[in-house]
């Protein structure tokens, strides 16, 4: 029996867990939100306290780490975090190996979550799979021939910035109609707010053309409650609208929310269909908050992906099984691989 320590530096939260190799149940599990104004030092300090309260002096045999940002997986050096200051070029693997005197392995969260779902979750038995997380961002991680494919410089998996609608709205990356621009929670919320701010109830048709799709007609039946449910859910305080609120409003029949969510599932469907044509993996595993948006979301996503892929290209699209723990379980797999 070998003790594994798994760490997840998540951008907004930190988590640590211990497990014995071969077991699928945590021995211990600790989790804390990053404070506002967090930096690399405070993150490391909090993580140390989580680890101490988990290990209570015990010694793990190996450490696996998921990091929410670009990592050089061969050296275990963090390149940077887009969320937390001070992570530029931090040799995280080296730090941990020196501090604990055991081997460690570090990779970015999308790759690690893909590995977690492959080894312990919805990807078990599928040697070629693409894991996609749809949450505050849209990212992905590859398993090919049963191993992570990270790309020549560790940048593979960026389905979030695949362009699916060149006349779509502008993304932070500078392009138009990226998958992430159309399907991530914050962008869905932003688009809904923009419509609600600009459109008086008397003029429900006046929404920016960039928000429209040919296929939106499906959802234009209920103009009478366009945005009404959304407003009610946040008691008219539009600032409170999030991706989750959009999903809830769509489920309750709000036609504006349905339209935005439809566009998100359409964008993901086109992206996944394109990826199927390009790489022909057996399975797509989808996680992240936005994928909990309900049956309509999955139905559109699956239909559009099927229509986008060539008829001869087979694949399945399934929900992730490990939820928020996918990176931690992937970290376990990283640590196990270090010991092999």
Binding site for a copy of itself (CB under 8 A): 70, 127-128, 140, 142, 144, 149-159, 161-167, 173-175, 214, 270, 273-275, 277-282, 307-308, 310, 312-315
**8 Å CB contact between 129 and 108:** no
**Considering beta carbons, is residue 128 or 242 the nearer one to a copy of itself?**
128
What is the closest distance, in whole angstroms, from the C-beta atom of residue 266 to a copy of itself in the complex?
9
- C-alpha distances in Å from residue 210, one per residue of 168, 169, 188, 195, 326: 5, 6, 13, 11, 35
Instruction: Round to whole Å and give the CA distance between 274 and 269.
Output: 8
| Alpha-carbon dihedral sign for residues 324, 327, 331, 333 | positive
**Considering beta carbons, is residue 27 or 279 the nearer one to a copy of itself?**
279
**Considering beta carbons, is residue 36 or 145 the nearer one to a copy of itself?**
145
What value, to the nearest 5°, has the Cα angle with vertex 296 and ends 293 and 297? 50
What is the closest distance, in whole angstroms, from the C-beta atom of residue 297 to a copy of itself in the complex?
19
What is the closest distance, in whole angstroms, from the C-beta atom of residue 203 to a copy of itself in the complex?
25
**Considering beta carbons, is residue 252 or 313 the nearer one to a copy of itself?**
313
**Considering beta carbons, is residue 139 or 227 the nearer one to a copy of itself?**
139
What is the closest distance, in whole angstroms, from the C-beta atom of residue 228 to a copy of itself in the complex?
30
**Considering beta carbons, is residue 92 or 178 the nearer one to a copy of itself?**
178
Strand partners, 9: 14, 67
What is the closest distance, in whole angstroms, from the C-beta atom of residue 325 to a copy of itself in the complex?
26
What is the closest distance, in whole angstroms, from the C-beta atom of residue 48 to a copy of itself in the complex?
30
What is the closest distance, in whole angstroms, from the C-beta atom of residue 31 to a copy of itself in the complex?
30
What is the closest distance, in whole angstroms, from the C-beta atom of residue 127 to a copy of itself in the complex?
8
**Considering beta carbons, is residue 190 or 277 the nearer one to a copy of itself?**
277
């Amino acid at each position: 029996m070998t003790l594994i320590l798994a760490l997840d530096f998540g951008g907004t939260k930190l988590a640590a867990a211990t497990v014995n190799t071969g077991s699928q149940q945590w021995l211990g599990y600790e989790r804390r939100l990053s404070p506002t104004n967090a930096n690399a030092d405070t993150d490391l300090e909090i993580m140390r306290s989580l680890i101490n309260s988990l290990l209570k002096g015990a010694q793990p045999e190996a450490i696996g780490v998921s990091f929410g940002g670009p990592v050089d997986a061969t050296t275990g050096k963090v390149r940077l975090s887009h969320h937390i200051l001070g992570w530029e070029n931090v040799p995280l693997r080296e730090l941990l190996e020196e501090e604990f005197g055991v081997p460690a392995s570090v990779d970015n969260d999308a790759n690690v979550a893909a590995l977690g779902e492959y080894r312990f979750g919805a990807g078990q038995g599928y040697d070629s799979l693409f894991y996609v997380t749809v949450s505050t961002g849209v990212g992905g991680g590859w398993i090919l021939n049963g191993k992570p494919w990270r790309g020549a410089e560790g940048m593979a998996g960026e389905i979030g910035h695949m362009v699916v609608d060149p006349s779509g709205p502008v993304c932070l990356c500078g392009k138009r109609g990226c998958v992430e621009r159309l399907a991530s929670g914050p962008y869905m919320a932003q688009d809904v707010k923009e419509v609600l701010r600009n459109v008086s109830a008397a003029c429900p048709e006046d929404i920016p053309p960039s928000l429209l799709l040919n296929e939106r007609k499906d959802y234009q039946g209920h103009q009478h409650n366009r945005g009404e449910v959304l407003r009610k859910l946040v008691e008219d305080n539009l600032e409170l609208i999030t991706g989750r609120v959009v999903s809830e409003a769509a489920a309750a029949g709000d036609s504006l929310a349905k339209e935005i969510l439809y566009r998100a599932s359409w964008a993901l469907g086109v992206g996944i269909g394109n990826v199927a044509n390009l790489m022909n993996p057996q399975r797509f595993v989808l996680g992240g908050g936005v994928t909990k948006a309900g049956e309509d979301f999955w139905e559109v996503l699956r239909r559009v992906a099927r229509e986008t892929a060539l008829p001869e290209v087979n694949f399945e699209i399934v929900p992730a099984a490990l939820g928020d723990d996918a990176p931690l379980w992937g970290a376990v797999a990283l640590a196990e691989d270090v010991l092999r």
